[in-house]
Amino acid sequence: VLNINLADEDATLTLARDLARITGVGDILALRGELGTGKTAFARAFITARRGEATEVPSPTFTLVQTYDDGQAAIYHFDLFRLTKPDEALELGIEDAFADGITLIEWPERLESLLPDRRLEIDFFYGETPEARIAWINGGADWTARLAEAGLG
Ligand SMILES: Nc1ncnc2c1ncn2[C@@H]1O[C@H](COP(=O)(O)OP(=O)(O)OP(=O)(O)O)[C@@H](O)[C@H]1O
Ligand SMILES: [Mg+2]
């Protein structure tokens, strides 16, 4: 588990861009954390970095999912806060996302057992100042090597 201090929002955006560079088709990023800890801020920077151009990234609070194309892969950005049961995510096409997209999921715990084990888990916490956050990053062996490559190990 990596424990990263994010002193301000820029640090969160930089982390998102760093991870965007080592991510590819089939990857799943589970973005966990209380309301306002920066999951959507992270997703915005990640998607913009993947696309390489300014991109409007609305929070999928009500649509539950927004999709993007970065020229190499489809990016699926889920916010499952309002999911009432895990099966509802199947109707949103979450299995297609897992199979051949890059998937970012806010409130991944709503999926319960449908959340794949092969995910990179990023847990956001509030820090000691209003602008500070802490991220815990945890993935399998494959992720550990890739994180080291990105200078995050
Ligand atoms: N270090 C930081 N990293 C990320 N966001 C920060 C940071 N410091 C302050 N902020 C602010 O915190 C807020 C984070 O909001 P954001 O919508 O990204 O949270 P969220 O985790 O997606 O919440 P929700 O669970 O409601 O979807 C933004 O207003 C952002 O400007
Ligand atoms: Mg959000």
- Nearest ligand to the CA atom of 130: 1
pLDDT below 70 — which residues of the chain? Answer: none
Q: What is the pLDDT of residue 77?
A: 98
Q: What is the pLDDT of residue 153?
A: 78
pLDDT for position 150: 86
CA 52 and chain centroid, separation: 17
Question: Residue 82 has which token pair?
Answer: 């309002």
Closest-CA residue, ligand 1 atom 29, reads 36
Which of the listed residues 40, 57, 105, 126 should we mutate to test ligand 1's pocket, taking the one with most ligand atoms within 8 A of CB?
Answer: 40
CA distance 133 to 152: 16
Q: What is the pLDDT of residue 135?
A: 98
Alpha carbons 146 and 149: distance in angstroms, whole number: 5
| Residues framing ligand 1 (Cβ under 6 A) | 6, 8-9, 11-12, 33, 35-41, 59, 79, 106, 131-133
Residue nearest to atom 4 of ligand 1 (CA): 38
Cα 51 → chain centroid: 15
